[in-house]
Amino acid sequence: MNHGEAKKFIIITGTPYQSKTMEKSDITRKHQSTCKLIHRGRIADAIVMLRQMIDDSGREYLHEQLKTLQETYAQLLKHSFSDVQDPERDSVYRYLRRTLLELADQLKEVIRVETGKGNIIWLKKEADRQKGAERQEALQILEKLSFDDQLAGLLKDVKVGDTDEMTHRENVLADIFRFIWLSDTYSEEEIKLLETVCDSKSLPWHDKALIVSALTLSLLRYFDVSKFVLLFRFVEGHQSLVWERAMIGLFIGFLKYNDRYTLYPVLEEKTLALQSFPHIEQHIEAILVQYARSRGTEKVKKKWEEEILPAMMKMRPRIEEKLDLNNIFSDSPEEEKNPDWETVFEDAPDLLNKLQELTEMQMDGMDVFISAFSRLKHFPFFREISNWFLPFYSENPVIRPAVKDPDNGTDLTPLVEKLENTYFMCNSDKYSFCLNLGLVPEQQKSMMMNMLNAEMENISELEKDQDLLGGLARAKSIYTQYFQDLYRFYKLHPWRKEFDDIFDMELDLYETSFVKHLASDGKIIRNIAELLFDKQFYEDALKVFLFILEKDKSNIELFEKIAFCYEKSGDFSRAYDEYLKADLIETGRLWIVKKMARCCKILNRWDEALDYYRQAEKMDPDDMHTQASIGQCLIHLTKYEEALDYYFKVEVLAPENHKIRRPLAWCSFLLGKFDTARDYLERLLTSEPDNYYDLLNIGHVLWCQGNPMEAFQMYTKSILAWKSIREFETSFNEDRKHLASHGIPELDMDLMLDYLKLKIRSRHKKSN
């Protein structure tokens, strides 16, 4: 099998290259640790790590380079503490850190390619193996691209062949894409050629857009400052449908490499030059909007459920779980946002203009589209990575067979031409749609043509609205489409696990230097914070709100939202402090009072929580949630008679809520009202017969009523429902003081526990 056939085989089959392996996580961890040391100024430690990486790589000759850098650092240290001031010290230090980082990148890639496995590694190895010939071939193609008079012969000579075979034109573009993507760094000659391609007047926009995507993917794979500079050049060229993709490439690139921003003065220089770009702040805001919308909140929810909530539960007394006091009502208004916040965007027309309806349709429909089109990403067309980023254009030969029947069937060309010019569907899905048309029977194709033409006409009318024809609005739609294309690639591509998902990056959006330099307007910054807040990225939103607070300490809403962010991040102590500040600005607001009460409750400050709930009760006497919360506080404060009165009140107001019976039963039991307690527990067990706490509690009641064997039976059921005698014993022992207060001797309790253990063990032996 020759090289061309081998390359085609890996693309089509997806068969990974097998080699001796080193875990990707180990390589990544070493690289990240080294980079962190460099960024923190711990250069000596970083040099030790780099020496280990060189040993891992087997590239012994790199020890000489590292030794030279170490000697440079030694001289810098020596001069730093001498009487002679070196004016070049800072520049040398920056150069040193930059060079060490680049060496770390080089070693990571060497080790990854040498010892790793996977489809991309295989392609990279093949590219490196054929580096001379293929690189020269790609350079020749790029050189031809730089001459407009040769362009037609190279890229416009379209040959339509078998639908399973790529045309010569698509082959050329795919090769160029792989060359750009898989190159770690670019030579001076290559950079000049790419600059010429960027400036070309005849190269079609869709080819330039594809090259921009290759540059972006390459930058995310391997840092090279020249890739940033080239993306800046494409932005500066301001060619529609091209520069917007380059802007997103810069945005994502700086999110990933923000810590290197200050090490390369050219990056700040190029960024500052963009400040004169028309409406640059609105463009940055639009990109942030679309990126945040594209990111799911699954990760945020996962962190809440797996980290914050378990930590909260550890703080809670077991009585909370036993009586399920926090879940008496299915909804919890204490956790809701302030309804007054709904007006926050009234002064932000950019977020609520006519484009908003279309944008919401596109982004909210993203999951719907993914569901509809995910099964249509298995066409041979999508086996080539570059095609996931290929802009949709009606002349593309790959869709010709599906669009126009050679036997004079239905011609869908008019429909496809309309599809090209609309923004309601991303490029990737447009190709899926058109390729699927080739599988549709002729009769259905004709019906589809008539139906979709009507829909496309309606969409075209919407897009002709003058607000949507403006440059900024058009760019927003392109940002949306491109993020959707990226989202599909990172979520649906068969090799997706081999890529670092840009939508799962740990990041600080506003702390990114690129964003801060280009979005300094107060309204834009506030919109960024509100967007992050709305999308439940509370820790990210908190940082921006705190930045805004430094300039405005009188805005009550800022304190409220900062407090809410702390609360949702699990820091209830700080949340309480911020709610208290908001209350000092405007005292007696019901929502804030309830929030302070909730924080105190979670922090086990039950006296304070009760005081706040008493205040809330005066403001809204008929609120059942407040009544139940007062009862909860009173139970913790062992004021059971008073707690019982509050829970009785809730029962009267909400008789259908069976959960209220649990604290009613418990308070009745503690007060010696055994018949009442038993009645409530029996009703609870009718609907939840396997609730181990209810079984335990009714066992207590029966024993105190003088029925120890009935109690024994209920305790046995509780253990079986719990499936853990240890958990049962822990809870039983916590209740000893209550049993003792009703006359059950300690000895009897010990004997009951042993009797239960023997019974359960005997039962277990018989079942085996």
pLDDT in tens, 718-742: 999 988 889 999 999 999 999 999 9
Predicted confidence band at 315 (pLDDT cuts at 50, 70, 90)? low
Same domain, 138 and 109: no
Average pLDDT of span 576-603: 93
More reliable by pLDDT, 719 or 454: 719
Least confident among 150-154, 510-514, 582-586: 150-154
Same domain, 215 and 179: yes
Same domain, 47 and 100: yes
Residue 157 reports pLDDT greater than 70: no
Average pLDDT of span 494-504: 91
Residue 143 reports pLDDT greater than 90: no
Question: What is the per-residue pLDDT for 351?
Answer: 35
Same domain, 252 and 380: no
Find out whether 578 and 597 touch, Cβ atoms under 8 Å.
Answer: no
Position 61 in a domain: yes
- Closest alpha carbon to 482 in 225, 230, 283: 283
Position 286 in a domain: no
Position 389 in a domain: yes
Position 58 in a domain: yes
Question: What is the per-residue pLDDT for 15?
Answer: 40
Predicted confidence band at 117 (pLDDT cuts at 50, 70, 90)? confident
Burial class (CB in 10 A: 0-12, 13-18, 19+), 611: middle
Question: What is the per-residue pLDDT for 354?
Answer: 37
Nearest-angstrom CA–CA distance, 368 and 374: 10
Question: What is the per-residue pLDDT for 590?
Answer: 93
Sequence-ordered list of residues with C-beta below 8 angstroms from that of 593, at least 6 positions apart, any chain:
583, 612, 615, 616, 619
Backbone angles phi, psi at 8, to 5 degrees: -65, -40
Position 321 in a domain: no
Question: What is the per-residue pLDDT for 200?
Answer: 87
Same domain, 110 and 140: no
Sequence-ordered list of residues with C-beta below 8 angstroms from that of 319, at least 6 positions apart, any chain:
325, 635, 636
Question: What is the per-residue pLDDT for 588?
Answer: 85
What is the per-residue DSSP string for 467-515?
A: HHHSHHHHHHHHHHHHHHHHHHHHHHSTTGGGS--GGG----TTT-HHH
CATH number of 698's domain? 1.25.40
Residue 314 reports pLDDT greater than 90: no
Same domain, 57 and 85: yes
Please give the share of the chain, as a percent, with pLDDT higher than 90: 50
Nearest-angstrom CA–CA distance, 433 and 613: 57
Same domain, 175 and 87: no
Average pLDDT of span 360-373: 50
Average pLDDT of span 78-82: 85
Least confident among 279-293, 374-388, 465-479: 465-479
Same domain, 364 and 494: yes
Which structure tokens are listed for 147? 């001459």
Predicted confidence band at 366 (pLDDT cuts at 50, 70, 90)? very low
Same domain, 76 and 190: no
Residue 167 reports pLDDT greater than 50: yes
Give the tens place of pLDDT for each residue, 10-63: 443 344 333 344 567 789 999 999 999 999 999 999 999 999 999 999 999 999
467: domain range?
355-499
Question: What is the per-residue pLDDT for 147?
Answer: 57
Position 676 in a domain: yes
Q: Which of 116, 144, 177 is the last residue of a domain?
A: 116
Question: What is the per-residue pLDDT for 312?
Answer: 54
Question: What is the per-residue pLDDT for 203?
Answer: 86
Same domain, 376 and 461: yes
Question: What is the per-residue pLDDT for 42?
Answer: 96
Question: What is the per-residue pLDDT for 11?
Answer: 42
Give the tens place of pLDDT for each residue, 199-218: 988 788 999 999 999 999 99
For the chain, the average pLDDT equals 82
Same domain, 100 and 202: no
Nearest-angstrom CA–CA distance, 574 and 591: 17
Q: Which of 94, 116, 138 is the last residue of a domain?
A: 116
Find out whether 388 and 428 touch, Cβ atoms under 8 Å.
Answer: yes
Total count of domains within the chain: 4
Q: Which of 499, 533, 565 is the last residue of a domain?
A: 499
pTM for this predicted structure: 0.76
Q: Measured between alpha carbons, how far is residue 40 from residues 36, 45, 81, 286, 571 in Å?
A: 6, 10, 20, 33, 27
Same domain, 219 and 179: yes
Question: What is the per-residue pLDDT for 138?
Answer: 67
Position 137 in a domain: yes
